[in-house]
Amino acid sequence: MPEHTFRVNGEQVTVDVADDVRLLWVLRDILGITGPKYGCGINVCKACTSHLNGKAVNPCAIPVKDLRPSDEVTTIEGLPATVGQELHPMQRAWLEQDVAQCGYCQPGQIMAAVALVNRVAAEGRTITDADLDGIRNICRCGTYVRIRQAIRKGAESM
Amino acid sequence: MTGPTDETIGRRRFLGYVVAAPTLVAAAELVPSAPAATPAAAVSPEAAAAAGLPSPDLTELLDLNDVMTAAALPTSNLISVEVGTDGMVSFALPRAEVGQGITTSTAMLIAEELAVPLERVRVTLADARPELLFNQLTGGSNTTVSTYTPIRVAASVARLRLTQAAAAELGVPAAELRLEGGAVVAPSGRRLDIGALAVKAASASTRQVSVELAPRAGFSVIGRPHNRIDALAAVTGRKKFTMDLDVPDAKPTMVCRPPTINGKVDSVSNLAEVRAMPGVTDAVVIATGVAVRAETFGQCIDAVRALRVTWKPGTAAGKSDESVLRELAAAELPLGLRPPTPTVEATFTFHFRGNSALEPNCAIADVRAGRAEIWSALKSPIVAQQAIAAKLGLPVGKVTVHVTEGGGSFGRKLFFDAALEAAEVSQKIGKPVKLMWHRADDARQGRVHPMATSRVRAAYLGQTVLSYKQRHTSVSTDLGHGLGEIFTALAARLPVGDVGFSQTFFHLSQAMSYDFGASSHLLAETDKDFNTGSMRNVYSPDVTCARELVVDQLAARMGKDPYRFRHSFLRDDRSRAVLARAAEAGGWGRAMAPGTAQGIAFHAEYKSVSACLVEIDCRPETVNRTVRDAVTGPRVTKVVFAVDVGLAVNPRGLEAQMMGGISDGIALALTSSLHLRDGYFLEASWDNYFYTRQWNTPLDLQVIVMPSTSEQPGGAGELAVAGSMAAVACAYGRATGTMPTTFPINHGTLSFTPKPTVPPVPPSPTDGLDHAR
């Protein structure tokens, strides 16, 4: 079987798996990194949202062969290390607002939130209601209002 | 036996046990005092009707929570709190945590009674324990109601023993010692950590002791807002759900499912070919389809798509929304002769809704010769254990069922469909399996909230409502997850006569909160061909929505303001207070722009009362917003929700449950339904089934927790759905000038292109990198 090399949460990994297996399953079923969740498998629910080179992506839609050795995949497990802290400011905001209910979607929500805040900051502006309305991540527990509050709070300390 | 067992024992005195164990194990004997009506004390509706009296509202005599609490009575003494030598206090909760926050509220009860910091209380979920009988079912928003006192009694027994052990150790009378911060403290200031006392406080024999619970006035934990104890695990990705567990050799497994609801496999033409696909280890026909096991779930999806299966028709062959509506019309119970007075009459339709959580149905099974081990988030693990044992041909005692933390439930996890399938597959192939449903499976073959209609007739004269009749007609709700057994066991004690489970549930959950004269609400059910279930708040969202819309009509007929009308007809102070609080905080009656409006609704259930005020924007520029693959439509811009649960154990968690219920209520009123065509549901994705998303979320939400009105907590997990759905519907009617009668309001417009049914799951996309942002 072909070998694929890329970086996950700061470490180089090589996996021996068919080209077309999607990154989500490489992370979960082969590498045992279970923070990114399955909720649809078709890039709709966004429960698996992680970062690729700092941008939000959905591993359920990325064949592992698309990754290059220098590509850096960051899952929720690796998020704090991107800022050299025990918790990322967005995770702290999530704790302050007590956002999570069942928690299943929350790793994806947090990863999407961090990418959104970074994108908005790069555009030289602050988060608007329209930005928050644009988040597609599903939360079936309906925690949307606290998610909005946490993103605004987290953005202040990012 | 509910409450004090001896007249000499005071109001807060309860009996508990010290259980024989190497370290301290304390158990509770009693469950909370509940007004458990005896048949003799209850007036039967039939008798009342025969006497020509307005029928007494059954929920005033006994509601669903009383039934469940009473059912838990004989076995609650088995609830035990353990103190370890590490100073940690452990409790295995015989309920399922699926997001509702009961591990946190349970830890709070123990922390309060034992005076230990919350972080020193470790709450886990108990495996299936058949000896608990009915005391291991999570539903009916009953967990806190039924466990509030027993858990505190067990903790109190532990407190007593720790104090006694410390007294012997320190040579100080026990009465002079107090617990504080996880230590027993002497008047001298000397402290002994409870961990150091755990062995000394243990007992070599099981003994009964009498304890007094901490008085409410002295509470320092209960009633104060606490963040969830599992929040850190959730935000770091460390929280483990079933599919995250590392069970040796339990490889990914999925099932190729039929193109119609509950279709069966006729034949498979390429099993050998599929078994030879990359990563695939097994492919086997099971009761519900063709199971495939592989190294990764991605390879399972590919294998499921590659299978060539011919199918037998399903249970709903040829049925559609239209044909089911005709069945409901035929099954509707008569309203009787129209009275000579003016009436308001209306009929409402509520379409099928999906009961899926975000975590799909899933379970791990390891079935070996003579034994089986199951892991799954189960709200009725005892029934699951019995069903799995029967399916596998094993004695119940040989089936171990571990209850895992669930990624949402909303009633869905009362059923154990995936666990049963996983057990069957594991037995057939002789290997452990980690079985998961695809999202499309969950949408199309999963449990649904049944389609229903509600016909209402209210008769009035002048400023008086003379009678209110509601005939609710529904596709059958499957209650075969243990709740039915509870009703059977307690049937003799229920004042509802010889009616079925569903009717019993309906009667026990529907209150008539308004002084509307002679009132009756009846349920008729038809058609058992669908996979249905008790979706969050069950019948109440639809029943309440229909009622509150009619209430608005009655108010209009009498020339009264909708809020003032409700306030004047509500029956008690507690209900009026919660309504008034919502109206006041939400600025009821303020001037609203054309195309926007306020709506207000009331709902009582689970010994709790709630009122919801919403503002909705139905202006074209809002309704016609475009978001790709989405339903935008009217936007609820503001929600004010006032709630009185009697005693709120954790106000922060209560607010969270209200917020979630409101998201559900908005979805039920405006956007979320399943479309039935030719024996299957068209929806197969979260972009087909339009649950509330960020673009539908209110920009302004205020939850008001009313001051405690009771010594006992009421239920909360499902409470907010009915009132918020109704308030949104009422606001929509006022904004548009037309009372909505079909729900959700957008059901008539199909807002997506249905995915194929063969293969049953869509292909995995390959363009993920193109969407990096």
CATH, domain range A81-156: 1.10.150.120
- Mean pLDDT to the nearest integer, B286-292: 98
pLDDT of A71-97, one tens digit each?
A: 999 999 999 999 999 999 999 999 999
Q: Which amino acid is at B258?
A: P
Which of B204, B236, B268 represents a domain boundary (last residue)?
Answer: B236
**Residue recorded with tokens 């004390």:** B41
Q: Which residues pair with B755 in a beta bridge?
A: none
Distance from CA of B13 to the nearest CA of A (A): 35
B250 and B306 part of one domain: yes
Q: Is B488 in contact with B561 (CB distance < 8 Å)?
A: no
Q: A7 and chain B: CB distance < 8 Å anywhere?
A: no
Assigned domain for B579 exists: yes
B579 and B598 part of one domain: yes
B37 and B123 part of one domain: yes
- Helix segments in B446-572, DSSP class H: 483-489, 501-509, 540-557, 562-569
pLDDT reading at B495 higher than 50: no
Length of chain B: 773
pLDDT of B176-222, one tens digit each?
A: 999 999 999 999 999 999 999 999 999 888 888 889 998 888 899 99
Q: Indicate the pLDDT class of residue B502, thresholds 50, 70 and 90.
A: confident
Structural domain boundaries, residue B658: 324-341+346-353+447-743
Looking at residue B38, its pLDDT comes to: 31
Whole-Å CA distances, B30 to B75, B82, B146, B150, B170: 9, 18, 10, 6, 32
B172 and B290 part of one domain: no
Q: Indicate the pLDDT class of residue B43, thresholds 50, 70 and 90.
A: very low
Looking at residue B68, its pLDDT comes to: 58
Distance from CA of A17 to the nearest CA of B (A): 9
Distance from CA of A60 to the nearest CA of B (A): 7
- Report CB contact under 8 Å: B694, A37: no
Assigned domain for B195 exists: yes
B552 and B668 part of one domain: yes
- Report CB contact under 8 Å: A101, B99: yes
Of residues B47 and B497, more confidence is placed in: B497
Assigned domain for B511 exists: yes
The tally of domains found in chain B comes to 3
Looking at residue B75, its pLDDT comes to: 44
B429 and B452 part of one domain: no
Q: Is B455 in contact with B470 (CB distance < 8 Å)?
A: yes
> Torsion-angle region of residue B259: left (phi > 0), alpha (psi -120 to 50) or beta?
alpha
> What kind of fold does domain A3-78 have according to CATH?
Ubiquitin-like (UB roll) (3.10.20)
Distance from CA of B248 to the nearest CA of A (A): 12
Question: Which sign, positive or negative, has the C-alpha torsion B420, B422, B427, B428?
Answer: positive
- Mean pLDDT to the nearest integer, B493-506: 60
CATH number at residue B177: 3.30.365.10
Q: Is B456 in contact with B468 (CB distance < 8 Å)?
A: yes
Looking at residue B44, its pLDDT comes to: 36
CA pair distance B170, B546, nearest whole angstrom = 66
- Report CB contact under 8 Å: A24, B298: yes
CA pair distance B619, B624, nearest whole angstrom = 8
Which residues, numbered 135 to 154 in chain A, qualify as contacts with chain B under a Cβ-Cβ cut-off of 8 Å?
135-148
The structure's pTM equals: 0.93
pLDDT reading at B549 higher than 50: yes
B267 and B131 part of one domain: no
Q: How many CB atoms lie within 10 A of CB B377?
A: 31
- Mean pLDDT to the nearest integer, B597-624: 97
Q: CATH 3.10.20.30 region(s) of chain A?
A: 3-78
Distance from CA of B79 to the nearest CA of A (A): 24
Q: Indicate the pLDDT class of residue B64, thresholds 50, 70 and 90.
A: low
**Residue A129: closest C-alpha in chain B:** B699
User: What 3-state class would DSSP assign to A156?
Assistant: helix
Element (H, E) at B660: helix B651-670
Looking at residue B48, its pLDDT comes to: 33
B430 and B452 part of one domain: no
Best of A40, A60, A74 to disrupt the B interface by mutation (most B CBs within 10 Å)?
Answer: A40
The two three-digit tokens of residue A107, written as one number: 């790793």
Q: Indicate the pLDDT class of residue B482, thresholds 50, 70 and 90.
A: low
**Residue B97: closest C-alpha in chain A:** A102
Assigned domain for B749 exists: no
Question: Which of B243, B694, B765 is opposite residue A135, by nearest beta carbon?
Answer: B694
Looking at residue B375, its pLDDT comes to: 98
- Report CB contact under 8 Å: B230, A103: yes
B421 and B537 part of one domain: no
B17 and B147 part of one domain: yes
Best of B125, B245, B358, B413 to disrupt the A interface by mutation (most A CBs within 10 Å)?
Answer: B358
Assigned domain for B764 exists: no
Q: CATH 1.10.150.120 region(s) of chain A?
A: 81-156
B383 and B506 part of one domain: no
B154 and B252 part of one domain: no
